[in-house]
Amino acid sequence: MKAAVINKLGETPKYKNFPAPEIQNDNQILMEVKMAAVKNLDKIRASGEHYARHKELPAVVGMDGVGILENGKRVYAQGITGMLAEKAIIHKNKYVEIPDHLDLQIAAALPNAVLGSAMALKARGKIKKGQTVLINGATGFTGLIAVQIAKYYGAKTIITTGRNSKNLKKTKDLGADKSLSLKENESTLIEAIRNIHRENPIDLVIDYLWGKPIETIISALKGEDLKSFSHQTKIVTVGSMSGENINLSSGLLRSSAIQILGSGFGSLSEDNLDEYNNEILPEMFQLAADGDLEMEIVRGQLENIENLWKQNIDSGKRLIISI
């Protein structure tokens, strides 16, 4: 079969022949792959810089995709074998059926963004209708989806931050009430967030950046004096595009009512992931099928994977490879 293959960590995948995967037990089934998204996680795994890097080489890249089962069902699944290939092995009972009228390219683009947005909002953030939500780093593909899902889940006020001015403007078109540029100096940002927090106390922060931007937000949310109670704010970190580490003093936490959580495979329970597969992702597929979720995708062919892998694609768009 044809596939996107790496022979060593850190190299760009090549389009080449690779042995077709073989089913090893009764809990596995074969999928004919039709579309697969190329995400930052796929690239980091292939680079060797992620804890879930490829252990056995050569390897087919790509964690998830959409395709056709032997019975004709159109499904999304995470692969036991690499998904940027003509065929892949998936778990027999761990796939999500795709609505008949949903484009397979949209179906391939959406799941990772739903995992990084809906699960952060619902499973970890416990979002409630009427809350105020700040999405830090909302100008990436997942952040833009998060704005729409936060609104769908009933957020009353949505604040977004980011550096990409075009995509930051787009967040307001998608439902954000206020947006703040991270290009502003720190003191200006802190004052702007404090003013928002005084008028509409921020209940939930979904963070895709970490690093200096989240330090700035935490500083803005801390208590302003010893005579008043701080509003309880939950921070859910999903990514670390601005750095893996922050400076966080004990005193700052003691002067605020901030809770800090993570959202990712290691922090989501088995029940959370069952809910994702059985309820949340099917619901989001249906929203997309009904035209109620907007996204931009870049289309490419598997045979061009080497050039596409290195292409500088706007962070607000998702690269989808047709197999």
CATH number for the domain that contains residue 21: 3.90.180.10
| C-alpha to C-alpha distance for 250 and 243, rounded to whole angstroms | 20
Same domain for 15 and 83, yes or no, is: yes
User: Where in the sequence is the domain holding 14, given as residue range(s)?
Assistant: 2-112+287-322
The total number of structural domains in the chain stands at 2
Could you say which residues of the chain have pLDDT below 70?
Answer: 223-229
Convert the pLDDT of each residue in 170-216 to its tens digit. 999 999 999 999 999 999 999 999 999 999 999 999 999 999 999 99
Task: Scan for tokens 């889940």, then name that residue.
Answer: 153
**CA-wise closest residue to 140 among 320, 316, 318, 317:** 316
Same domain for 174 and 210, yes or no, is: yes
Same domain for 256 and 293, yes or no, is: no
Q: Which pLDDT belongs to residue 229?
A: 60
- Establish if 118 belongs to a structural domain: no
Same domain for 33 and 92, yes or no, is: yes
Q: Which pLDDT belongs to residue 225?
A: 55
Handedness of CA 39, 5, 102, 124 (dihedral sign): negative
Same domain for 212 and 242, yes or no, is: yes
Cβ-count burial 250-280 (b if 16+ within 10 Å, e if not): eebeebbebebeebeeebbeeebbebbbeeb
Helix ranges (H only) for 135-210 are 141-152, 165-173, 186-199
Same domain for 71 and 107, yes or no, is: yes
Helix ranges (H only) for 54-181 are 104-118, 141-152, 165-173
User: Taking the CA atoms of the chain, what radius of gyration do you get in angstroms?
Assistant: 21
Same domain for 45 and 146, yes or no, is: no
Convert the pLDDT of each residue in 237-270 to its tens digit. 999 989 999 998 888 888 888 999 999 888 999 9
Q: Which pLDDT belongs to residue 54?
A: 85
Cβ(167)–Cβ(315) under 8 Å? yes
Same domain for 71 and 182, yes or no, is: no
User: Residue 314 is encoded by which pair of tokens?
Assistant: 């706007």
**CA-wise closest residue to 170 among 141, 196, 149, 193:** 141
Same domain for 299 and 218, yes or no, is: no
